[in-house]
Amino acid sequence: MARADLVKEVGGFNDDYFYASEESELCLKITDLGYLLAVLPSCAVWHKISQTMKTGSEIIVYYVYRNRLLFIRNNSTKFGLRETLAILQLYIFSFLSYLLKQRNLPAVRGLVRGVIDFRRGIKGVGRYKPVLQADRT
């Protein structure tokens, strides 16, 4: 929770993201202004999740992995070879885990497409807009 005027002051949510990381960037902007963040463990938010957006689905994995890269690009102050190798290691490990351990081919597709679309500069809802619009009906 944040005051509306504070959210407006930092520019609100970044439309480059969809589904994941926009709240992290908002929190980062707020802390950059000197505010402290707090966690209220007694509070809960429940989201209605469609089958399209269930955990481990192609679409969820796509947004999580693409948006991580967007977040790093948008907010890192130092990103050298060491950091690049760490991200590469994480993505390879995740790819192999989805493929070999979980045998989740949709998640593999989501991860690969997320990286490809990040490189292509695709932001926001991106390639899954038609699917998500159809899911609403």
- Residue 44's pLDDT is 85
- Residue 49's pLDDT is 66
- Residue 51's pLDDT is 61
- Residue 137's pLDDT is 62
CA distance 62 to 129: 12
Phi first, then psi: what are they for 10, rounded to 5°? -90, 5
- Residue 52's pLDDT is 62
User: Six-digit token pair at 49?
Assistant: 């999740």
- Residue 48's pLDDT is 72
Distances (CA, A) of 50 to 37, 66, 102, 107, 126: 30, 20, 21, 16, 18
Sequence spans of domains, the chain: 4-136
- Residue 128's pLDDT is 92
Give 10-residue mean pLDDT values along the chain (137 residues). 92 94 95 93 79 82 97 92 95 98 97 97 94 79
